[in-house]
Amino acid sequence: MASKVRNLRITQTKQLLINAFFNLASKKDFEKITIADITKGAKVNRATFYAHFNDKYDLIDFIMGDFASASIENHTSGVVKFDQDSINQLILAVCDFYQQPNIECRSSYGGLVLPQMQEKILNELRVFLSKSLEHIYTDIEKNMFVPIFAQIIHEGALQLALGNHTMKKEEVSRKIALFVIIGSQSLEGALR
C-alpha cells in the first residue's frame, strides 16, 4: 500500500512540474526559464525537482518521450500488429504527436523541441515495428527494415502534420499504410 501511495505522489509531483513548465513555456523563451521558476510554479522545492529531473533539458526530454509513447498507445490501443490498419493508426499517431504539444511554439523552442520530437517518435515507431514484425522477419531483416519502415511512416505523417497535401488526412494515411504493407510483402517475396 505504501508503495502505491509513493508512486502516486511521484506521478503527481512530476505532473505538477510539467504543468508549471507548460505554463512558463507559454510566457517565456526556454533559455530564460529557470529551475526556480518551475519549482515556484509547481509549489515544490529545488530538491524535489532534482529528485525527478537532472535539469530543464531532461524535463523536456521526458515530456517528448511521454507524448510519443502516449500518442502511439492511444491510436493503437496497445495492439501490436503489422497490418494496414495498424500502420494507418501509426501514421495518424505521429501526425497527432506533432500537433499535440502544448508548448506555445515560441521561436526559441523550434530548434530545441523539434529534433527531440523526431528522435522520440522515431524511437517509439522502431519499438512498435520491431514487436509487430517479430514473427515475420529474422532479427537481421528486422534490423535492416524496421528503420526504413519507421522513416517512411514518420515522413508521411510529418507531411500530414505540415499540411503539405490537398487530400484528406485519412486518405493520405491510408495510402501511405498501403505503400508500407505492399513494400513489406514485396520484400518478403524477394527474401524467401
Q: Residue 153: its pLDDT value, please?
A: 95
* Vertex 55 angle, CA 51 and 59, to 5°: 85
How big is the CA angle at 69 (ends 76 and 127), to the nearest 5 degrees? 80
C-alpha to C-alpha distances, 32 to 25, 35, 155, nearest whole angstrom = 10, 10, 32
pLDDT in tens, 102-156: 554 445 555 667 788 889 999 999 999 999 999 888 999 999 999 999 999 999 9
d(CA 84, CA 184): 11
Q: Considering only CA atoms, which of 22, 123, 112 is closest in space to residue 71?
A: 123
Asked whether 81 and 132 are in contact (CB, 8 A), the reply is yes
Q: Count of CB atoms within 10 A of residue 25's CB?
A: 22
- Supply the Cα-derived Rg of the chain in whole angstroms: 19
- Cα–Cα distance for residue pair 118/106, rounded to 1 Å: 18
- The predicted model scores a pTM of 0.78
Sign of CA dihedral 125, 53, 17, 13: positive
Amino acid, res. 56:
K
Integer Cα distance of 146 and 125 in angstroms: 9
Write out pLDDT tens, residues 131-145: 999 988 899 999 999
- Give per-residue pLDDT as tens, 32-49: 999 999 999 999 999 999
